[in-house]
C-alpha cells in the first residue's frame, strides 16, 4: 500500500556546500540518501515529493559539519498482510517461486501454489497445469496475496499465496501494473 507521509531527518552537510545553493545541495543530498531506502516502520521510500521545512543548522563541534533538521514529504510503499499485489516472477525452484513487486521481494512456497500446478525442472524451471494452459516461470506476471511479512529495521520480505480466487498468472499483459 502506498502512503504519502511527512518524515524528518537530520542531514549533515559538509562546509564546502555552504553558499547560495545550500538549500538545493541539501535537497539533492536528501534524495540521494533517502529514496530507495527501506525502513521497517514506514516501508520503502519511493520518491520525495517536497521539502516542508529546513530547520536551523547546528555546527557540530570538531568537524565543521552542520546538521539541518529537514522535514520532507514522500511516497512510501509498505506491504501488508492480506494485501493483493501484482508482481513479476524472478526465480522458480522446487520450493516455490520468488517475485518482485517494485522493491519488495515475495516468496510463494509450493504448497501455496494451486495443487494442479506441477513443478517442471529444466532450463526454464516452471510450474504448469497438467493441460499446459497456465505456466509460471521467470518473468511471468502474477497476482498474489501477501500472507506474511518479515519486517526488519532496514528490510521487508513477504511471503504470498496464489491459492485463492482470482490469484495467479495474469494472462492479459495489459492488466499488469
Binding site for another protein (CB under 8 A): 40-41, 78, 80-82, 91-96, 98, 105, 107, 109-112, 121, 125, 147-152, 157, 159, 161, 163-164
Cell numbers that stand for 34 in this block: 533517502
The residue among 68 and 96 lying less far from another protein, judged by its C-beta, is 96
CB of 30 to another protein, least distance (A): 23
DSSP H stretches of helix in the chain: 22-34
CB of 80 to another protein, least distance (A): 5
The residue among 15 and 82 lying less far from another protein, judged by its C-beta, is 82
Residue pair 158/104 in contact by the 8 Å Cβ criterion = yes
Helix, strand, coil shares of the chain, percent, nearest 5, are 10, 55, 35
CB of 140 to another protein, least distance (A): 16
Distance between CA 130 and CA 167 in Å, rounded?
Answer: 18
CB of 35 to another protein, least distance (A): 21
Beta bridge partner(s), residue 122:
none
Amino acid at each position: 500500500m502506498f502512503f504519502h507521509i511527512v518524515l524528518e531527518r537530520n542531514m549533515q552537510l559538509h562546509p564546502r556546500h555552504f553558499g547560495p545553493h545550500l538549500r538545493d545541495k541539501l535537497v539533492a543530498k536528501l534524495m540521494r540518501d533517502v529514496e530507495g531506502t527501506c525502513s521497517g516502520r514506514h516501508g520503502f521510500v519511493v520518491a520525495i515529493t517536497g521539502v516542508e521545512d529546513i530547520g536551523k543548522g547546528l555546527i557540530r563541534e570538531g568537524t565543521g559539519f552542520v546538521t539541518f533538521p529537514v522535514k520532507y514529504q514522500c511516497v512510501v510503499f509498505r506491504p501488508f498482510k492480506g494485501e493483493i499485489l501484482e508482481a513479476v516472477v524472478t526465480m522458480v525452484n522446487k520450493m516455490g517461486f520468488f517475485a518482485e513487486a517494485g522493491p519488495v521481494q515475495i516468496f510463494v512456497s509450493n504448497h501455496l501454489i494451486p495443487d494442479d500446478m506441477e513443478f517442471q525442472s529444466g532450463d526454464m524451471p516452471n510450474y504448469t497445469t497438467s493441460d499446459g494452459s497456465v505456466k509460471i516461470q521467470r518473468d511471468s506476471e502474477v497476482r498474489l496475496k501477501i500472507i506474511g511479512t518479515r519486517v526488519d529495521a532496514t528490510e521487508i520480505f513477504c511471503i504470498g499465496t496464489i491459492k485463492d480466487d482470482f490469484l495467479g498468472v495474469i494472462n492479459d499483459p495489459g492488466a499488469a501494473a
